[in-house]
Homo-oligomer: A and B are copies of this chain.
Amino acid sequence: MAVEVASRKLCLLYFIASTKTSTIPGISCAGATPEATLFTPALDVEYLVLGEPKSKREIPVTPEGLPTPAVITRAALSLMGDPMMVVDAGSYIEPRIPHVDLPSRTVGGRIDVEPALPRGRARELFEEAKLLAYMALPRRCAVLVGESMPGGTTTAMAIMEGLGYRARDRVSSASPNNPRELKWKVVSKALERVRGVDDVFTIVDEVGDPLHVSIAGFVTGALEKECIVILAGGTQMCAVVAILKRLGVSYRGRLAIWTTRWIVNDPQSDIVGLLRDIDPAIPLAAARISFESSEFEGLRMYEKGYVKEGVGAGGTAIAAMIRLGMAEETFVKVVEREYRRLLEAKIAKDRGVE
């Protein structure tokens, strides 16, 4: 779908939400502590738009201190200047930037001990996000959808398993040590609530989260407006495809997943296998950027399996390179410039001299 992304009007959307599943110790690296993961989505998009977070004065980092992949996304956006929008499907805190609110937005429950959503909410979120696409998208544009929701690979696994696909040990992690046993323990407890359940919205209500079903609704509306859609994300986006397929949405030839090579080459997850099982006709592309020889430790860590993807990093990077005709090495320089800015701002802040 590179031709369409190069030639059509491009609209970039970043969906955010929280699931309390991310507060289970050890399950998510998208925050310095389990509780901090609840703030990450809002801080991610504040940083994306403003260049610094606003609700708290902290860039979201992993427990090791590695900054959010939104660094890559922001570098890519800085090159394009195309219309972008943030959509809140259930962030724990309201982001302090202009953003679209879905009226039924809600923080997702901790799926090992409680339903993800109040009964009926998944369908409401789907319909609201579909309506948003009808309202806000120009006809026949190219749409790129990224996301930020810590805990999302775990709920994505539960959604896919609930829909009958083998997702155990196949979703990725922001850690080089994917906590696969812990994720499966959480998911298998959640799945007990949907034995024999066939309805996709009920499955999402029980074991999912507010994010993936909202993205699925938005994609459905975008396709009805004759747009092509790029899902910019890793293994989580396979859950969106699984929802769309179960709903019988007609997406053939107009839907793709764009991610990073750190996801595609990850030995501890299997996006290729997931997609093969769900729909082998969905094109998968990976940004070939490498930080191997970066001067920054925090970027070189990507090559050791840290962070990998998030906030639409891979897909937004591909879109920027395609639209600008930019080589991967040049794009890496832009990321490094943004990373340096961030580091210097952070150092200045730590010293209290900003």
Seen from chain A, the residues whose Cβ lies within 8 Å of a Cβ on chain B are 9, 49, 81-85, 87, 94-103, 128-129, 131-132, 135-139
Contacts and interface: CB of A to CB of B under 8 A. Distances in A.
Given A82-B138, A83-B135, A139-B81, A100 B103 contact: no
Contacts of A131: 49, 97-98
Contacts of A137: 83
A137 to B, nearest CB: 6
Interface centre among A96, A138, A139 (most CB of B within 10 A): A138
Contacts of A49: 131, 135
A98 B101 contact: yes
Nearest to A10: B138
Contacts of A101: 94, 98-101
- Number of this chain's copies in the assembly equals 2
A296 B298 CA distance: 69
Contacts of A100: 85, 98-101
B98 A129 contact: yes
A96 B85 contact: no
A35 to B, nearest CB: 23
Contacts of A136: 83-85, 98
A144 to B, nearest CB: 14
Contact of A84 (B97, B135, B139): B135
A85 B135 contact: yes
A222 to B, nearest CB: 12
Contacts of A97: 103, 128, 131, 135
A129 to B, nearest CB: 7
Contacts of A83: 135-138
A184 to B, nearest CB: 35
Contact of A98 (B9, B132, B138): B132
A9 B139 CA distance: 11
Nearest to A46: B103
A30 B98 CA distance: 27
21 contacts: A9-B9, A49-B135, A81-B139, A82-B138, A83-B137, A83-B138, A84-B135, A85-B136, A87-B98, A96-B103, A97-B128, A97-B131, A97-B135, A98-B100, A98-B129, A98-B131, A98-B136, A99-B101, A99-B103, A100-B100, A101-B101
Interface centre among A85, A102, A135 (most CB of B within 10 A): A135
Nearest to A77: B135
A99 to B, nearest CB: 6
